[in-house]
Amino acid sequence: MPLIQSYLEDSIQRYRSTVSMRLGHLIEAMDYSLGGTGKRLRPLLVLAAGEYLDIPAQKIMPAACAVEFIHTYSLIHDDLPAMDDDDTRRGKPSSHIKFGEAVAILTGDALLTEAFGQMLKLNAVGGFKPERVLDAVESLSYYAGVHGLVGGQVLDVTTESDSYSLPEVEYIHIHKTGALILCSVLIPARLSGADQAKVDSLRRYGEAVGLAFQISDDLLDSDASIRYSREPRSKPKPSYTRLMSPSEMRGKLNALVDTATRSLSDEGKRAEPLRAIAEFIRNRKH
Ligand code: GRG
């Protein structure tokens, strides 16, 4: 965590020292939204998958930073009045409350764009071959874009139903929440050219913890099933809470975490950070 924090701070400092002073408020807004109570789950997954594949953390920090940039942009945009309309995020006023909607939208845009700039540093910082970096960039654009995060969010905000089915809810969550989590463990695999068995185990792990994380989020959020933002207020939103009792959700969460840890069962000590993250998701209180 201190490694991730200091890499993010250094990156912000580099933007600050290289842009015109007239853009200081953009960098301040990027810094502001990256800060606060963020758990850094996705960059931690990048480093943990790196450990699993024997990649030193220092070499993949730009990828860890890139997934946190994309996650943070998605939070900023999700909080906007046109989407979830949330006034607070990471324990403080949301970006659009603090900086206004236009700057918040552009701050999200900047983080999304700069995420790909960070990925391109993997050659110079990590010594990864350009073709491996391109493989990793391909994964990031796939899972952050139409086939992943953005696609899932579009379905989340445009699907209106009083009775979501379980497949509908899972489809949205696998894309909106799960895709970037899965991508975080696949990027190190693409960078290192890992063998198929390792890629398969990371994929099974990433898919399971991605969905487990959403269920844990719904369990912690007593308002998970209600859409407050748009009129009419209190519309149902796609959530496990509408379809399962808390104990059924807990059972599914446990099964997914077990699947995740089982997928790493032959891997010994190198898999410990990934196992610890899966257990954190099982037991999280925040
Ligand atoms: C705007 C394209 C776009 C996507 C938005 C992030 C998102 C998609 C929606 C947020 C709604 C939400 C609460 C989803 C549940 C899962 C989730 C992404 C929770 C927030 O992630 P954490 O808990 O946040 O990892 P921190 O702040 O700890 O990084």
Predicted confidence pLDDT, tens digits, the chain (286 residues): 789 999 999 999 999 999 988 999 999 999 999 998 999 999 999 999 999 999 999 999 999 999 999 999 999 999 999 999 999 999 999 999 999 999 999 999 999 999 999 999 999 999 999 999 999 999 999 999 999 999 999 999 888 777 788 899 999 999 999 999 999 999 999 999 999 999 999 999 999 999 999 999 999 985 555 555 545 445 667 788 888 999 999 999 999 999 999 999 777 899 999 999 999 999 998 7
Return the H-helix or E-strand segment holding 92: strand 92-93
Q: Is the CB of 78 under 6 A from ligand 1?
A: yes
Instruction: Report the nearest atom of ligand 1 relative to the CA of 39.
Output: 28
DSSP 192-211: HT--HHHHHHHHHHHHHHHH
User: Residue 273, preceding bond cis, omega within 30 degrees?
Assistant: no
What's the pLDDT at 230?
47
Ligand 1 atom 18 nearest Cα: 177
- pTM for the model: 0.94
For a mutational test of ligand 1's pocket, the pick from 41, 45, 73, 78, i.e. the residue with the most ligand atoms closer than 8 A to its C-beta, is 78
Q: Looking up tokens 């699947």, which residue turns up?
A: 259
CA distance 48 to 274: 5
CA distance 245 to 272: 31
What's the pLDDT at 223?
57
